[in-house]
Amino acid sequence: MSGLRRRLPQPSELLPLMKFSAPGLGRRAHRLRGAADVADLRSIARRRTPRPAFDYVDGAAGNELTARRTREAFESTELLPRILHGTAEADLSTTIAGGPSALPFGIAPTGFTRFMHAEGEDAGAAAAARAGIPFTLSTMGTRSVEQVAQAAPGGRRWFQLYLWRDREKSRGLLDRAWANGYDTLLVTVDTPVAGQRLRDVRNGMTIPPRLSARTVLDASYRPEWWFNFLSTDPLTFASLSGTTHDLPTLINSMFDPTLSVADLEWVRANWPGRLVVKGVLTAQDTRLALDAGADGLVVSNHGGRQLDRAPVSLKALGEVRAEAGTGVEIILDSGILSGADIISALALGADFTLIGRAYLYGLMAGGREGVTRAIELLTAEVRTAMQLMGCATIADVKASGQVRAPWL
């Protein structure tokens, strides 16, 4: 080091090192730009969202074993790179449920969404439309089928149905969804009753939230969330007018715990579009759904939010695919937080994926801009993985066999 010659830098050498934020960059945009992955969005969301809302998204049923095991399954997979087989460009587009998607993932149905952020489903639908991917509106949505259609008139829209005890109400929802351009119906079959989500119980979660000493204290730390909540339309379930209950009571009073194959056949007879059954994890249930008229399936454990110790979706995928065959489209959700997770699901047999928590972390972190950022991050990760694996198209990923999983 004693022989090291030193000199003063020239101004021309310093200028390229001086990087400043673009003029006029807002605080939200600056905050989101600093997020390098979905985990960063989750951290931002946790700081900016009241605990009951954040825990509703972040939590799961029981001791959250299924949720943890779902993540462990994704993290245990290995994606095999392909050397001397470079791919300069990767085409991330695909088709699903009879229509196009610019990316191999769409937005999953989520309930109580304006509780997470005042922009709610409108933000998700608009961001999805901009990205060219499907957006799924939940029966438990806080915006109506008409409002979401207006928020993203050029987007592709799916609707998720929980069958009500009152079948005429269900029929009315189906008619409204079809009339407003929702081309695919996801019927959720894994929620005859509400799962025991202990974080929600401990937080005393209700819709709308009740004011208490705890919530007032929480407001002092998160004034923007509370200002948005108090200065926008009252928080209600757009399809369930006049309901104010704790969550298990609401679900158990409205939804039908006696759901059967005959009910699925009733839906098939009353829905003219594509019918996808969501919540399938076994070969036996795969056959039941297909025999009842399903066009496709969602392999899902509801993000670990229903039956704790339920099978891991990624591990169940092979069994479902073997029973369904290659001619049935299979979508996978639950636990997807990265582009590598999406690629793993596709390489193991899925045709498409849905993101739930990843979308909501983005929403809580920054509304529509946050959802857009989540989509951007996942897109970049998918593209990088495909290029490193030498896969030019989504079809290449599905046919590559370039994945290892310890349960196979």
Residue 283: count other Cβ atoms within 10 Å of its Cβ.
16
Question: 317-326 long-range contacts, Cβ below 8 Å, gap at least 24?
Answer: 317/345, 317/348, 317/349, 317/350, 318/348, 318/349, 318/408, 319/282, 319/283, 319/286, 320/280, 320/281, 320/282, 320/283, 320/286, 321/349, 322/283, 323/283, 323/286, 323/287, 324/286, 324/290, 324/297
Question: 240-244 long-range contacts, Cβ below 8 Å, gap at least 24?
Answer: 240/139, 240/140, 243/207, 244/206, 244/207, 244/208
Tokens of 259: 């759901």
Residue type, 87: T
> Are 161 and 263 contacting, i.e. CB atoms less than 8 angstroms apart?
no
E strand or H helix that includes residue 279: strand 274-280
> Are 237 and 137 contacting, i.e. CB atoms less than 8 angstroms apart?
no
Q: Measure the CA–CA gap between 28 and 10, rounded to whole angstroms.
A: 36
Residue that the structure tokens 């030193």 belong to: 6
Closest CA to 147 of 97, 182, 110, 199: 182
Left if phi > 0, otherwise alpha if psi is -120 to 50, otherwise beta: which for 279? left
> Are 297 and 185 contacting, i.e. CB atoms less than 8 angstroms apart?
no
Tokens of 382: 């998918």
Residue 302: active-site member: yes
Q: Measure the CA–CA gap between 245 and 242, rounded to whole angstroms.
A: 10
Cα–Cα distance list, 350 to 110, 284, 311, 342 (Å): 21, 18, 16, 9
The one catalytic residue among 85, 117, 245, 302: 302
Residue 89: count other Cβ atoms within 10 Å of its Cβ.
8
Q: Measure the CA–CA gap between 244 and 246, rounded to whole angstroms.
A: 7
Residues belonging to the active site: 302
